[in-house]
A and B are shown apart, each in its own frame.
Chain A
Amino acid sequence: MATSPPPARAARRAVLTGAAAGVGAVLARPGAALAAPDVRGYPATPVPDAATWHGIRRFTAGYTPALRAQVAEAGGFDAWFARQLDGSYDDAWYETTSRWWFSVNADAATVWQRDRADVESLWWADANYQSWAMVRRFGSQRQVLEAMAELWEHHLHVTAQGAVGPFRTPYGKEIRKHALGRFSDLLEAAITHPAMSVYLGNANSTKSAPNENLGRELLELHTVGVGQYDETDVKNSARLLTGFKVGIWTTWATSYDPNAHWTGPVRVMGFSHPNSDPDGRAALSAYLRYLARHPATARRVARKLAVRFVSDTPSDALVDDLAAVYADHDTDISAVLLALVASAEFKAAADAKVRTPPEDVVATYRALGVELTGRPTGLGDETAANTMLWQAQRIGAKPFDWPRPDGRPDTAAAWSSTSRFLASLDIHSTMSGGWWPEQGARYREPVDWLPSAPSGAATASADPAVPAAGEAPLVVARPKKDKKKKKKKKKRKPPAPPPATPQAPDPVLPEPPAEPQPPTTPVASIRFDELVDHLCRTMLGQPVAPTMLQAACEAAGCAPTDVITSQHRIVAWEMPRLLTVLLDSPLHMTR
């Protein structure tokens, strides 16, 4: 498990800190004098400072130039992070995109009726929700909120596989409401939600034969963890949870049945309650509040956050510190996040985390500057907003699809397998070429990857082979896509799609998450090393490192000094091969 950063990375970070110093320094290797004065970068394309770069990679769905500008406008990473926590940024993307899929804004009864009427199965409603979750991560201005909503949905995991009926989308929305608030409120909302109740067998559990599943996982997974309780505690935990009813596979109506609630004194660890009222919901609420504030829960929540945002193996000291903040702030999640971000351990942990498959997909859309240009028009159509989900599945995991109640793993070891690695490369390749998805997405044209010509005097290069400063840039027609290489990837189709569903009219086009691109003219020519550096800065927010430049040279069959014009084969038809190099890098596959 990667805990300490590799020396090469440390060196790169050191280099990054001084990136503003100059072109040559960008590619300098540690311990070597500037042996490569001729290898050039492209510093005209700005990158964020090291702390910002690290912070936004951890708390957002991936670097974009627009994000760099947003952080700069806020006054730096800390100020930006505070604004993310206090809800200053607008939520229009969430509202707009929620209307892209009918089921997302439909109530549970309607979703169930549509299933019965063969309009849209529960399975599809789940898929819609999963797609929406990825789209939210892709474009939201509230990146930290979306990151936290996702984290809690994995912590309080309810699988999105049809088995919880029409409740999965409302469950996700409910979690998001509490994602930056108090864990105590979040826990109560999740455990008493019909989605959780159905998923872990609590719905219709009776006092005479309680179903122990939720009672156990509440202790083991959601709060205190193994080692804190015994089997009697599990039984009492299950008894406190009896009384909730759901009309599973009939009406899905929810109710509370005092006749099914087990009454009598209970004790779970240090919690005791007379539990004499047949309506046991007050007793349950007291129990959940006790669990949320238990020191073992504080540590587990602190560790969960640290593993997500710091490293696979956070120190005990950090976990203790965060747990103390959690306790001192009455389970307030935002307070813990602020402490986490302020910690030295967080600051020292750049790119120590491996991206999960859905994170890889969303970050790839962002790195490539893809715009979502259209909402889905029918079930499972080929719109990018739907396709993202199947892309994540091909890499190894859809969001919230983990088959067990512990939620998907969050460590490098889990997401570094052969299968994952090769599938990621496949997605990077098809997206670099704009081959899949084709609908509802606007990719950049190859020539758009050349930096824009500076408005002032200097061009990118002073190489004699390159047009002199001030010379009029070459205006070129955009080359056509290379049709012969076009290929459509077969995706794993979900079973038997029902017919297309009517959608509520919603003419709103999505706001592109990237900053609006004013019409620009590409530079007339640029050295290959400068181009790769520009790409790395644009897509990944970093100057290019020597290894990546060499890999780019090898992939493209170019020397660093080769002069690239818009007519060069790299621009004309081999740009996908070059873009893939950047996406297939450790820099892109980590965060």
Chain B
Amino acid sequence: MTSSCCDEFAALAGGLTRRGLFRGLAGATAAVTTTTAIGGAFMSTSYAATPSAPAVLVVLSMRGAVDGMSLVVPHADPVYYAARPRIAVPSSKLLAKDAFFGLHPDLAPLLPWWNAGSMAAVHATGLPAPNRSHFAAIEAVEDADPGSAARIGWLNRLIGRDSVDDPLQAVQLGDSVLPASLLGPEPAVAVDRVESMVLAGADRWDTHGRRPQSMSTMWADAAGPLGVGARSAMKAIADFAPVRASSPTPANGAVYPDGDLGASLASAARIIRGDIGAEVITIDTGSWDHHVDLGTLEWGQMQRMTKELAGALAAFLTDLGPLTSKVSVVTLSEFGRRTRENANYGLDHGYGNVMLLLGAGVVGGYHGRWPGLVNDVDGDLLVTTDYRSVLSEVVVGRLGASSAQVFPGFQPESVGVIAPASP
């Protein structure tokens, strides 16, 4: 407190103590006694206390339900070509072909990681029962707790497994709305971009730290999600200092493609390099809801978006350099798309899908059990691997979590896509 005014206020108003108002803001309370010029007092204290994250999980949600059979093509299943006379990816164009699968040619930027054995595809994954509603399905995927009415996402349970109570333990990038996977009792932050993590008004004219002090007072006891969000935001500003101070130029010559996905992954790399304790980073990319104009290799949404996806992921892994040894990326969608194409060079809602994994601990190559396609109007790729079995291997093998805690009531099957944690 730098001014006597507030003591006077307390005396006048009666019973209003600052101690009470600062409840829940211990870090910030200590900070307001300093008079750091730029950025305000919030930034001066607590990041030293932020634990480093030994492993980082990046969850890339491919919203809208990506067509997994375009990304990872089952070229040896004859139904694939029969059902998609116009939009199938020709077998001759596929990359990293084995006897059954091949990669979409626009995934080419990722081939170095594929060839090095640090990229994997698990096909025919998904929810245990079909659900073709985007909104109900993504909710089910992200809750990952069927039968429970509690709206707690699997990533919220993951970060809740330890005693760390730092909102920066999980960061959503590029979107101001938290995904359902992060909803729950554990705080998490949604950050549009690194540069936006500042408190407006806590500038070099605010020489007495009045601005952060005033905001702490205002929001200390505010109820509801907005109050929680406000307090998380003010703490996160402080803890984000090392990231803000880092260079915005990607390392190792990495070049991200233009667009939101590249920008979000570039921010993710800065956050990981800043080592501020973020162990979960979520990014949404989409929409992959290609009822119309999924198109061919020459035109349409699929080739354009696949190029962007592969370019952004390749830049991210390049940018991280040696840090990839602690970072695992996994992609998710609410469901896959129909086997048979529709009248609009597109695909309607289907069922089974592919999950891609990259980085630390990944056992490269094609995984999963192929059920065989059926060529009728309802033809779906069936699910032979519950998506939770894949995620379970990641959280157990990479983050040392208990599968039962993150996926209540679920018995995972072995997929073999993550190398077992070394004892």
Residue on A with the closest CB to B236?
A: A418
Question: Is A404 positioned at the interface, with any CB of B under 8 Å from its CB?
Answer: yes
Complex contact B224–A205 (CB within 8 A): no
Please give the distance in Å from B154's CB to the nearest CB on chain A.
17
Contacts of B61 in A (CB 8 A): none
Please give the distance in Å from A194's CB to the nearest CB on chain B.
14
Complex contact B176–A205 (CB within 8 A): no
Complex contact B343–A216 (CB within 8 A): no
Complex contact A403–B190 (CB within 8 A): no
Complex contact B346–A211 (CB within 8 A): yes
Contact of A559 among B8, B21, B292 (CB under 8 A): B8
Contacts of B8 in A (CB 8 A): 559-561
Contacts of A415 in B (CB 8 A): 176-177, 226
**Which residues of chain B in 219-237 are interfacial with respect to chain A, using CB atoms and an 8 Å cutoff?**
219, 221-230, 232-233, 236-237
CA distance A389 to B63 in the complex (A): 25
CA distance A546 to B21 in the complex (A): 11
Question: Is B215 positioned at the interface, with any CB of A under 8 Å from its CB?
Answer: yes
Please give the distance in Å from A496's CB to the nearest CB on chain B.
13
Contact of B200 among A27, A208, A429 (CB under 8 A): A429
Question: Is B192 positioned at the interface, with any CB of A under 8 Å from its CB?
Answer: yes
Complex contact A211–B201 (CB within 8 A): no
Using known A-B contacts A212-B349, A404-B63, A422-B200, determine if residue A584 contacts B224 with beta carbons closer than 8 Å: no
Using known A-B contacts A404-B134, A416-B225, A559-B5, determine if residue A550 contacts B292 with beta carbons closer than 8 Å: no
Please give the distance in Å from A463's CB to the nearest CB on chain B.
14
Please give the distance in Å from B7's CB to the nearest CB on chain A.
9
Contact of B229 among A36, A420, A553 (CB under 8 A): A420
Contacts of A577 in B (CB 8 A): 201, 210-211
Complex contact A209–B189 (CB within 8 A): no
Contacts of B237 in A (CB 8 A): 422
Using known A-B contacts A32-B14, A420-B229, determine if residue A554 contacts B342 with beta carbons closer than 8 Å: no
Contacts of A208 in B (CB 8 A): 343
Q: Determine, out of A2-10, A87-95, A319-327, the stretch whose residues face the partner at the interface.
A: A2-10
Residue-wise interface mask of B (330-348) relative to A, using a CB-CB cutoff of 8 A (1 in contact, 0 not)? 0000000000011110101
Count chain B residues whose beta carbon lies closer than 8 angstroms to a beta carbon of A.
74
CA distance A196 to B131 in the complex (A): 23
Complex contact B135–A220 (CB within 8 A): yes
Please give the distance in Å from A562's CB to the nearest CB on chain B.
8
Q: Determine, out of A296-304, A406-414, A472-480, the stretch whose residues face the partner at the interface.
A: A406-414
Question: Is B422 positioned at the interface, with any CB of A under 8 Å from its CB?
Answer: no
Residue-wise interface mask of B (186-212) relative to A, using a CB-CB cutoff of 8 A (1 in contact, 0 not)? 000111100011111100010010110
Question: Is A160 positioned at the interface, with any CB of B under 8 Å from its CB?
Answer: no
Question: Is B15 positioned at the interface, with any CB of A under 8 Å from its CB?
Answer: yes
Complex contact B344–A205 (CB within 8 A): yes
Complex contact B342–A39 (CB within 8 A): no
CA distance A343 to B14 in the complex (A): 37
Complex contact A554–B230 (CB within 8 A): no
Question: Is B325 positioned at the interface, with any CB of A under 8 Å from its CB?
Answer: no
Question: Is A428 positioned at the interface, with any CB of B under 8 Å from its CB?
Answer: yes
Please give the distance in Å from A252's CB to the nearest CB on chain B.
15
Contact of B12 among A2, A39, A234 (CB under 8 A): A39
Question: Is B36 positioned at the interface, with any CB of A under 8 Å from its CB?
Answer: no
CA distance A558 to B9 in the complex (A): 10
Complex contact A423–B135 (CB within 8 A): no
Contact of B13 among A35, A418, A423 (CB under 8 A): A35
Complex contact A421–B226 (CB within 8 A): yes
Complex contact B196–A209 (CB within 8 A): no
**Which residues of chain A in 529-562 are interfacial with respect to chain B, using CB atoms and an 8 Å cutoff?**
546-562
CA distance A2 to B226 in the complex (A): 9
Residue-wise interface mask of A (194-237) relative to B, using a CB-CB cutoff of 8 A (1 in contact, 0 not)? 00000011001110111111001000110000100001001000
CA distance A562 to B3 in the complex (A): 13
Count chain A residues whose beta carbon lies closer than 8 angstroms to a beta carbon of B.
84
Complex contact A423–B215 (CB within 8 A): no
CA distance A221 to B178 in the complex (A): 21
Using known A-B contacts A404-B64, A422-B233, A561-B8, determine if residue A211 contacts B291 with beta carbons closer than 8 Å: yes
Contacts of A17 in B (CB 8 A): none
Complex contact B190–A418 (CB within 8 A): yes
Residue-wise interface mask of A (1-29) relative to B, using a CB-CB cutoff of 8 A (1 in contact, 0 not)? 11001101100000000000000000101
CA distance A349 to B275 in the complex (A): 43
Question: Is B328 positioned at the interface, with any CB of A under 8 Å from its CB?
Answer: no
Question: Is A493 positioned at the interface, with any CB of B under 8 Å from its CB?
Answer: no
Complex contact A412–B200 (CB within 8 A): no
Complex contact A27–B132 (CB within 8 A): no
Contacts of A231 in B (CB 8 A): 132, 378
Using known A-B contacts A216-B133, A550-B21, determine if residue A420 contacts B214 with beta carbons closer than 8 Å: no
Contacts of B33 in A (CB 8 A): none
Contact of B15 among A32, A548, A589 (CB under 8 A): A32
Residue-wise interface mask of A (399-442) relative to B, using a CB-CB cutoff of 8 A (1 in contact, 0 not)? 00001111001001111111111110110111000000000000
Question: Is B286 positioned at the interface, with any CB of A under 8 Å from its CB?
Answer: yes
Contacts of A107 in B (CB 8 A): none
CA distance A205 to B292 in the complex (A): 10
Contacts of B64 in A (CB 8 A): 404
Residue on B with the closest CB to A260?
A: B343
Contacts of A580 in B (CB 8 A): 200-201
Q: Which residue of A220, A584, A590 has the most chain B CB atoms within 10 A of its CB atom?
A: A584
CA distance A213 to B346 in the complex (A): 11
Complex contact B190–A204 (CB within 8 A): no
Question: Is A515 positioned at the interface, with any CB of B under 8 Å from its CB?
Answer: no
Question: Is A396 positioned at the interface, with any CB of B under 8 Å from its CB?
Answer: yes
Residue-wise interface mask of B (15-35) relative to A, using a CB-CB cutoff of 8 A (1 in contact, 0 not)? 110000100000000000000
CA distance A549 to B190 in the complex (A): 30
**Which residues of chain A in 351-393 are interfacial with respect to chain B, using CB atoms and an 8 Å cutoff?**
352, 354, 357
Complex contact B224–A417 (CB within 8 A): no
Complex contact B348–A557 (CB within 8 A): no
**Which residues of chain B in 371-390 are interfacial with respect to chain A, using CB atoms and an 8 Å cutoff?**
378
Residue on B with the closest CB to A590?
A: B226
CA distance A551 to B216 in the complex (A): 8
Using known A-B contacts A211-B346, A397-B176, A554-B6, determine if residue A423 contacts B132 with beta carbons closer than 8 Å: no
Residue on A with the closest CB to B228?
A: A416
Question: Is A264 positioned at the interface, with any CB of B under 8 Å from its CB?
Answer: no
Question: Is B172 positioned at the interface, with any CB of A under 8 Å from its CB?
Answer: yes
Using known A-B contacts A211-B343, A551-B215, determine if residue A420 contacts B190 with beta carbons closer than 8 Å: yes
Using known A-B contacts A35-B13, A231-B132, A403-B287, determine if residue A422 contacts B344 with beta carbons closer than 8 Å: no
Question: Is A191 positioned at the interface, with any CB of B under 8 Å from its CB?
Answer: no
Using known A-B contacts A8-B221, A554-B210, A557-B3, determine if residue A549 contacts B291 with beta carbons closer than 8 Å: no
Question: Is A110 positioned at the interface, with any CB of B under 8 Å from its CB?
Answer: no
Complex contact A413–B192 (CB within 8 A): no
Contacts of A483 in B (CB 8 A): none
CA distance A425 to B12 in the complex (A): 29
CA distance A424 to B200 in the complex (A): 9
Question: Is A73 positioned at the interface, with any CB of B under 8 Å from its CB?
Answer: no
Complex contact B218–A2 (CB within 8 A): no
Using known A-B contacts A211-B344, A418-B229, determine if residue A396 contacts B192 with beta carbons closer than 8 Å: yes
Contact of A549 among B13, B196, B213 (CB under 8 A): B13
What are 9 A-B pairs with beta-carbon distances under 8 A?
Answer: A395-B176, A396-B177, A404-B64, A418-B236, A420-B176, A422-B199, A553-B9, A554-B6, A577-B211
The 5 closest A-B pairs by CB, nearest first: A35-B14, A2-B224, A396-B176, A6-B223, A416-B229
